[in-house]
Amino acid sequence: MSIIYDENKKVFKLDTAKSTYAFHVTNDGTLLHLYYGAKIPETDITHMLRIPGDEPFVPAVHDSMGPHSFDCAPMEFPTSGMADFREPCFQLMDKYGMSACECVYKDYRITDGKPKLNGLPATYSRDGDAKTLEIFCTDPHNGMEIVLMYSVFEYCDVITRSVRVKNNGTDPIELRRLLSTCVELDRMDYDMITLYGTWARERHVQRFPLRFGKQSVDSNRGATSHAHNNFIALCEHTATEDFGEAYGFALCYSGSFVAMAEVNQYEKTRVVSGINPYDFSWHLECGEEFQAPEVIMTYSNEGIGGMSRNLHDIMRNNLIRGKWRDKRRPILINNWEATYFDFDSDKLIEIAKEAKKAGIEMLVMDDGWFGHRNSDRSSLGDWFVNEDKIKGGLKKLVDEVNKIGLKFGIWFEPEMISPDSELYKAHPDWCIHIPGRRRNTSRSQLVIDFSRKDVRDYIYSRVKDILSSANIEYVKWDMNRQLSEVGNEVLPPERQREIWHRYVLGVYEMQERLLTDFPDLLLENCAGGGSRFDAGMLYYSPQIWTSDDTDAIERLKIQHGTSLCYPCSCFGAHVSASPNHCVGRITPFKTRGHVALPGTFGYELDVTKLSDEDKNAIKEQIEEFNKYNPLVRNGDYYRIGDPFATDRFDAWEFVSKDKTEALLEYVQVLKEPSVFLQRVRLKGLQSGKYYRCEQNGRVYSAEVLQNSGFDIPDLWGDFMSYIAYFTMV
């Protein structure tokens, strides 16, 4: 069994294929964390609490805890105001202005499968591949019910955690903080890995040793943000891609968040993650409950790469849903970098005809098709077709594109409203704002108030009407600014701080409605590029636009960092024009294709202006993509190079689950003189087997490829690329 309870030792033990997570119930009902690491067989492990007499002497031992002090005990779910002075997961404010709260164990339940989280994205069970433990607790002082939920996905070494609370008391309560997970580690000698960045430079890797005190990443922007991703990892100082212990924590949420590691004075580490308590509260009337989002956790003793592959498996198989979860995505061309706002239906038809000749399968019409929008300064919210551009209407255009032989997709930004729009003139109160304060625009737009059902219903009706009017098979859902001046004129004062979370729930509800009404629709999320690239969005869209920076060399770092947590199959990745529109870099067409190959693959350029040589290159790239995509989409991913460590090269590899085939991709970033041979070691092959390289016809043992390496042919010039495909013989 993956979840057991030892009644004698009062130990809960959760096992995956290679890991164990365990905690203990004390005599007074306190939950103490015991262990998270490599798999162990026994439940008789309460000695890990270091009692009696092994703890450092502290004068503040608490009588109810036996020999323990709340200040250093490994709390499974720490609360505020009860002499644990580290970062809490739970805090409230009662009618007396008191914020102390407790979490006292009462009962448990183990079930097969995994329940849904009300209104929130979360992993799900397929064919009985999960088991769930619910721990029922209470605060005896105020009647709060706290339910800790753990789900075990044994096959991929993943455990998920979430929390819900219910006010079973006699008075309303203000919930001030409810983080989703806490893990106590018995050491501090770890490195922390985070993903930081900005627009066009998302998810760069930062790795640093833990120090005493708190080290955290967060967002208070109402979205995940370009600045920090809501994934963090802890690993041994000596951990590499292939060796050593690593823990990964991915929050399944798309709003403001915090993820933190705190080292206390006794050299122990607490890891917490959840909704950012900044400017947050939730009013709970008697009988009301609140559900916190889920955290996906994994442990690997096979290095950082092993951690990543665990996360990739759970997200591909048990988070992404629907028709497109296991399917190759259509190869699309998006007109944004080809035309920006300067297009009409004639130009789109011209692009579609050339795209069809090259083997592209879908045309996506980006921003500028609605209202009177000829720049980014107007018309958001006016989701009506501009027939000065789209002559004869949208259905006529879509039908023409379909006749050419291409599918059709469209861009929306449903969460925004322009002051220069008919909708804003009619409903100036529909944006998020604080009455009486100046409304600060960003990119000439305001955020529409998705915390309000009437607003959501109207916007959804417009989006649905557009999608119902023609054969539209793909939607790119964008969000180009984040939340500020958060308030509205609808909610009472005690519920105003709920808007941050209500807004995110509104986004989720809208996308769920969209997928319910249009189950065959391919949805791609985007947020100013990659500022909402998180596990929560993957529940609704099987792909996310990785970055507005499509330069192949910049994408090496962006895609490397993103792959620490997220599977390549969800990377929105396109071949774009050269010189690149973001950085002005000139790169070979072949290299641009190879860097986009691991992702969803498409084009972001004006195909009508390409040379015949480049048009033929598109045909070759599409043939290559079709050949390798099943392996890329379903295989295990191995990082071989590190673009943050060297500017010479980057390399990565996909290996099929049965280890019968492998694809190596190599990018020479800067050519160095007197270096004519680059040898890279492959990973993940089956020992004792032999592999034939399609490119040179030679047969190699797995041992040679993994221990000596594969010789990359000499590549002349900067920004060159090479791929090698291996099959078992």
Distance, CA of 131 to CA of 263 (rounded, Å): 32
Which of 15, 366, 478, 549 is labelled catalytic? 478
Put residue 203 in one of left, alpha, beta given phi > 0 → left and psi -120 to 50 → alpha. left
- One DSSP character per residue, 350-412 reads HHHHHHHHHT--EEEE-S-SBTT-SSTTS-TT--SB-TTTSTT-HHHHHHHHHHHT-EEEEEE
Q: Return the structure tokens found at 21.
A: 């997570």
Q: Count other C-beta atoms under 10 Å from residue 109's C-beta.
A: 11
Q: How many residues does the chain have?
A: 729
In one-letter notation, the amino acid at residue 283 is H
Q: How many CB atoms lie within 10 A of CB 414?
A: 23
CB-CB contact of 472 with 479 (8 Å): no
> Is residue 465 annotated as a catalytic residue, yes or no?
no
Looking at 209-251, list the stretches that DSSP marks H as alpha helix, in order from N- to C-terminal side.
Answer: none
Contact 250, 303 (CB under 8 A): no
Q: Which SS3 state, helix, strand or coil, does residue 322 take?
A: coil
Q: Burial, 707: exposed, middle or buried (Cβ in 10 Å; 0-12, 13-18, 19+)?
A: exposed
List 94, 382, 534, 548, catalytic entry: 548
| Other beta carbons within 10 Å of 64 | 12
Give one DSSP letter per residue of 35-65, joined into a string: EEEE----S--GGGG-TTTTSPP-TT--GGG
Surface-to-core class of residue 113, CB atoms within 10 Å of its CB (0-12 exposed, 13-18 middle, 19+ buried): middle
Give the dihedral sign, CA 561/567/569/571. negative
CA distances from 618 to 331, 622, 625, 705 (A): 11, 6, 10, 31
* 111/72 Cα distance (integer angstroms): 33
- Catalytic annotation, residues: 478, 548
